[in-house]
Amino acid sequence: MLENYFLRPATVDRVRASWLAPQIEGYVEWMNAHGYRDGTVLRQVPVLCQFGDFAAQNGARAVASAVVHVGAFCLRRVTQFSPTKSPEIQQSRLKFFRGPIQQVLRLALEGHAKKVRRPKPFPFQAEASGFLSYLQEERGLRPRTISIYAHHLGWFDKYLKQVGVRAIGEIFPALVSSFLVDRAPVLGEETRRDFCAQLRVFLRFCYRERIIHENLSATIEMPQIYRLARLPRSITWDEVRRVLERVDRRTACGRRDYALLLMLVTYGFRARHTSALQLTTPGGKRRGVSPHVFRHYLPFRTMSGN
């Protein structure tokens, strides 16, 4: 099965040289049977081999004795490759390393790779019991979208408990604002927008059902995401210099390209402007910008250094 993912025989030999090789091959077969992507297999197998080496260096020779080394290995990997990252990123890296290792060990010891988890109850079911049916029936949301609602509202529920609020009716505008300020920095732009929209839907439902006595959804401002906002406004002069240096000005096409690039960067021309350029020859005729024009046009020959 390893040959289906790793093309180099030397790579397959390195994997099979590990004392954990039978368990790794069994795990690869399990991932293949459950439809995991090839990229996932290629990322996780090296981690498992590294864990096998780490466990062997610390005296482990059996799967049962390797379990105690999982935490130390994951912590060492995170501190080696992302020591200056934020706690959230480090926690994500810990899950990345810990996940496949725990699956391999669980598959070897218990016969199944995934831990059976009980579904978590939907947040605020005790006080806003109709919100789940509202999402399913009135809004007609898909199960995947409802699970995202549950995930985001779980953050809100956890925050309320941390600050000592035990009932939805005790929520006030400043509390909602402080929660958003606390949570927003760790979220991406799209996630922050979706989270604010879902929290507004929940608070509007609570007001409609008279669970709260004030429409707190109006206190939440929706983050604005502008189209093409992530595109860079310009390139640096260092990047401009590197682009110009790649042009071969020994040819007519190169001299033309160099001149057009200088016009773009100097005068801010657009592509349609440069493509519409025409040059007037000594005889009074206008000709389009083409390589054979630059071959005989003195200013551009001087600019190219020839």
**pLDDT mean across residues, the chain:** 82
How does residue 286 score in pLDDT terms, banded at 50, 70 and 90? Answer: low
pLDDT for the residue numbered 80: 79
- Residues 148 and 212 both lie in one domain: yes
- Residues 61 and 103 both lie in one domain: yes
- Residues 9 and 101 both lie in one domain: yes
- Residues 85 and 162 both lie in one domain: no
Close Cβ partners of 253 (under 8 Å, ≥ 6 residues apart): 291
225 within a domain of the structure (yes/no): no
Give the pTM. Answer: 0.48
- Residues 25 and 106 both lie in one domain: yes
Can you tell me the distance from the alpha carbon of 301 to that of 289, in angstroms, rounded to the nearest whole number?
14
Q: How far is CA 89 from CA 76, 156, 245, in A?
A: 15, 21, 39
Strand partners, 288: 278
* Residues 210, 127 contacting (CB under 8 angstroms): no
How confident is the model over 56-73, as a mean pLDDT? 86
Q: Is 131 exposed, middle or buried (0-12, 13-18, 19+ CB in 10 A)?
A: buried
- Residues 95 and 47 both lie in one domain: yes
Domain carrying residue 34: 2-110
- Residues 22 and 97 both lie in one domain: yes
Phi-psi region of 112 (alpha: psi -120 to 50; beta: other; left: phi over 0): beta
Going by C-alpha positions, the residue among 120, 127, 121 that lies closest to residue 202 is 127
pLDDT at 205 over 90: yes
Between residues 289 and 40, the one the model is more confident about: 40
120 within a domain of the structure (yes/no): no
- Residues 176 and 266 both lie in one domain: no
- Residues 82 and 148 both lie in one domain: no
pLDDT for the residue numbered 175: 92
- Residues 21 and 90 both lie in one domain: yes
289 within a domain of the structure (yes/no): yes
* Residues 45, 36 contacting (CB under 8 angstroms): no
Number of domains within the chain:
3
pLDDT tens profile 137-168: 999 999 889 999 999 999 999 999 999 998 99
Between residues 291 and 71, the one the model is more confident about: 71
CATH number at 212 reads: 1.10.150
The DSSP 8-state label assigned to residue 37 in this structure reads -
How does residue 275 score in pLDDT terms, banded at 50, 70 and 90? Answer: confident
